[in-house]
């Protein structure tokens, strides 16, 4: 998949949210990482973020910080849509 194809798949799926736009920009910027650090592609990067944000969502919920947990849940939903669009 080329960078343009990736952007074309992600934009209708997540491009209508602020976090989605930021994610598309980040994935586009790191699409062809010159040094191939860690050998990650877009799906790997999304998977990493999903794990991280799901952990913070649980932590905030356990601490009774519902607003913060809800914010993380919104980001998780965007990432899951992005993941589905790229599979």
Of 82 and 39, the structure prediction assigns the larger pLDDT to 82
pLDDT per residue as tens digits for the range 29-71: 888 765 555 567 889 889 999 999 999 999 999 999 999 999 9
User: Taking all residues of the chain, what is their mean pLDDT, rounded to a whole number?
Assistant: 91
Helical segments of the chain, H only: 3-14, 18-29, 42-62, 66-86
What mean pLDDT comes out for the span 4-9? 93
pLDDT for 39 equals: 62
> So what's the pLDDT on residue 21?
96
Residue 63 three-state SS:
coil
Full-model pTM: 0.87
């Amino acid at each position: 998949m080329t960078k343009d194809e990736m952007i074309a798949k992600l934009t209708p799926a997540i491009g209508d949210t602020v976090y989605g736009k930021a994610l598309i920009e980040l994935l586009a910027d790191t699409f062809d990482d010159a040094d191939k650090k860690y050998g990650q592609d877009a799906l790997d990067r999304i998977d990493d973020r999903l794990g991280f944000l799901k952990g913070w969502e649980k932590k905030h919920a356990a601490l009774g910080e519902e607003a913060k947990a809800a914010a993380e849940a919104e980001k998780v939903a965007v990432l899951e849509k992005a993941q589905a669009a790229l599979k």
